[in-house]
Amino acid sequence: MTVSGFIIKNAFRNKRRAALCVLSVAVSLFLLVSLLVVLNEFTNPPEDVGASLRIAVRSKVSLATPLPLRQRAQILKVPGVEALTALTFFGGLYRGEENTYFAQFGMEPEQLEKVFGEARMPREQLEAWIANRTSCIVGADTAKRYDVKLGDKFPLVGQIYPVDLDLTVAGIYKGTTDDRNVFFHQKYLDELLGDPGTVGMWWVKARSAEDVPAVIDGINAAFANTSAEVLAETERAFQMSFISMWANIKVLISSICTVVVFALVLVSASTMSMAIRERLRELSILKAIGFRRHELFAFILAESFGLSAVGFLLGAGGAWLLYGSIDAATLTAGLFPSLEVTPRILGTAALVAAVLGIVSSLAPALAVARLSVVEGLKTLD
């Protein structure tokens, strides 16, 4: 028998105890990883290729306040602007749904390639979309979810706007960070609304990364002190501001994370040290045989680390496998396009598992340090 053999035999001597320890660690780490994943989705919108060059322009009043059409020409005059499109959030409901999980935007189809270059679809579909005023393009995820094909009707009932859109699918795109959105002609919406002369937002593409700050300042300055002041910011900042409205949710989730970690350490550490304390007598026999104190510490540490490591593999690994294989967009009703277990999250979980291993070996280690051989042999008699 080797020393490691002894440790393994020891750890699984009480199989039920070991299994319960491992399971409670696994469940807690699974929960921790899940929460961190959600938190991460809230905090870090996915980066995409063109994002760093894109600038979102919205009304300074709020997102819900429209911008006048006349701003178009003025924005194009700002040096460094390469392209722009109107982008109007329609917020409609798809075919009899009560909650529609994808967003729909009115935009200028001719600008799609220039502004959102990463959206990929066959050229003839793009041309078909541009050609047909009442057609739309659908993200691949949404197309899959509703099983829509080219030429299908795609009706949307207006919620924010008092009009309904009667769209036809002209193309299906993919390749963006969020392949759920549906885009249609801004003109079609304008027509139905009786040409109000407004758009929801402007989405601007800068010529190069160096131009971005100047473009932002230029656009903001262009409309300062007009009746329609704007707020231009990078696409990322825009997304972040969206997220900052969730500030409380973030605080909520991170405090839950803390509580979970605390409860986990508490409960698992106590059960593990219970498991180890059960064999104080054995440890004192080892001491009597001539094992030194630090060797006994090593035994204890190895055992508690072993248990929490198995728990980590099950819990964090399980979460990793689970979130890698599920269709997050569908399951969360579109709240999260994907749930990614990042290496950083796995690292955090591993760290917690390690802390757990140390904390739970503290009590038994202390007991062993204090243990005199005679007493240890007596403890359980």
Partner 1 sequence: MFHLFKYHYRSVIIRWRSTIATVLGLALVIAVFVLIQSLAVGIEKSSGNTGDPRNLLVTRQGALAETTSVVTREQFNIIRYLPAVARDTTGTPLASGDVLVIINLPRRDGTGNANVMLRGVAPAGRELRPQVALVEGRWFEPGRREVVASRRLADRFANLHVGGRFKTGGVELTVVGIFDAQRSAFDSELWLDSDEARSAFDRPDYSSMLVRQADGAALAQIQKTLEADRRLKMKVVREVDYYKEQTRTSRPIKWLGNGLAIVMSIGALFAAMNTLYASVGARTREIGTLRVLGFRRRSILLGFLLEGALISGFGGALGCAIAYFGWNGYSTGTLGWETFTEVVFDFQITPALVAQGILFAVVVGLIGSLLPALRAARLPVIASLKSV
Binding mask 121-150 for partner 1 (x = CB under 8 A): ------------------------------
Q: Which is nearer to partner 1, 59 or 142 (CB)?
A: 59
- Min dist CB 292 to partner 1, Å, is 28
Between 351 and 380, CB nearer to partner 1: 380
CB 133 within 8 A of CB 187: yes
Nearest to 276 by CA among 249, 305, 245, 234: 305
d(CA 381, CA 376): 10
Helix, strand, coil tally for the chain in percent (to 5): 55, 15, 25
Q: Binding-site residue total for partner 1 (CB under 8 A)?
A: 54
CB of residue 255 to partner 1, shortest distance in Å: 9
Distance CA 86, CA 185 (A): 10
Backbone angles phi, psi at 214, to 5 degrees: -65, -40
Question: Please, what is the minimum distance in Å from the beta carbon of residue 17 to partner 1?
Answer: 6
Contact letters for partner 1, residues 76-105 (x by CB under 8 A): ---------------x--------------
- Please report, as a single letter, which amino acid is at residue 260: V
User: Which residues, numbered 224-243, are part of the site for partner 1 (CB under 8 A)?
Assistant: 225-229, 241
Give the separation between CA 237 and CA 57, rounded to whole angstroms: 11
> What does the alpha-carbon distance between residue 296 and residue 187 come to, in Å, rounded to a whole number?
77
The residues in 4-63 that bind partner 1, with binding defined as CB under 8 A, are 16-17, 20-21, 23-24, 27-28, 30-31, 34, 59-63
- What's the rounded Cα separation, in Å, for the pair 282 and 280? 5
Q: Which of 130, 140, 274, 285 binds partner 1 (CB under 8 A)?
A: 274
Does the CA dihedral 352-355-361-366 come out positive or negative? negative
Q: Which residues bind partner 1 (CB under 8 A)?
A: 16-17, 20-21, 23-24, 27-28, 30-31, 34, 59-65, 91, 157-160, 162, 225-229, 241, 244-249, 252, 256, 259-260, 262-264, 266-271, 274, 278, 335, 380-381
